[in-house]
Amino acid sequence: MKLSVIMPVYNEVKTLEEIVRQVLETRLAHEIVMVDDGSTDGSREIMKQWEDHPVIRVIYHESNMGKGSAVRTGFKAAAGEVVIIQDADLEYDPRDYPKLLQPIEEGRADVVYGSRFIGGPARKVYFWHRVGNQLLTLVTNIFYNLDLTDMETCYKCFRAEIVRDIPLHSRRFEFEPEITAKIAKRGYRIFEVPIAYYGREYHEGKKISGWDALPAMWTLIKYRFVD
């Protein structure tokens, strides 16, 4: 199955070349769709070297619109049969792609989430981030009758026709609860697999904060009643 890797990029000049190297090294990506979301740190200049690459497609947002907007742009451009979201910050390991792909390739799943909390190696940082994640995951499970352990994970793998058919509107990090809510309401089969997680700290460039939990919670409530 042809795999499209969707890579939103915003000010990741320190890690960008390494994560691209790691994705290419898996030899699983039919294409990498990189969407620069208005970077100002030199990331765009690095991306220019790949504009004629046979595997990498480069797209630029003129201004910063948020991770959700970048992912939606990537979904629209993707040509693969399966799509995976890959952050450009080295927190997630592309060597986990086979785990994410297997349930879909075997016809057992429509969507696969990579969970940071069910057995994979993980760097332990920011206790309150985990508390917020667990709270949002709990609310997701209650509202949508799921049994997830990690709703907020970046590693989400989809059959491509699913994300092409679902209307998505979120611009920032509330993309995660929106896509989860709409997948659940449509009855798609969701699997979880354990993944490695190498979390970074704010001085290393981490962007999501505790305040992002508030719009995420509102998104879960809103899409329980509307589409």
List of residues 6+ apart from 115 with CB closer than 8 A: 148, 149, 150, 153, 192, 193, 194, 195
User: Which of 128, 124, 130 lies closest to 199 in space, CA to CA?
Assistant: 124
* Rg, C-alpha atoms of the chain: 16
Query: Each residue of 27-42: b (16+ CB within 10 Å) or e?
Result: ebbebbbbbbbbbeee
Q: Is the dihedral of CA 209, 146, 188, 117 positive or negative?
A: positive
10-residue mean pLDDT series, the chain (227 residues): 97 97 98 97 96 97 95 97 97 97 98 93 72 92 97 97 93 93 97 91 62 88 91
Transcribe 69-94 into DSSP letters.
HHHHHHHHH--SSEEEE--SSSSB-G
Number of domains in the chain: 1
**Is 0.75 topped by the overall pTM?**
yes
What is the per-residue pLDDT for 117? 92
Q: What is the pLDDT of residue 99?
A: 97
DSSP 147: -
190 alpha carbon, distance to own chain's centre: 15
**Contact of 90 with 200, CB cutoff 8 Å:** yes
Segment (H or E) for 56: strand 56-61
CATH code of residue 38: 3.90.550.10
> What does the CA dihedral 8, 9, 14, 18 come to, rounded to 10 degrees?
40
Domain extent, residue 127, equals: 3-225
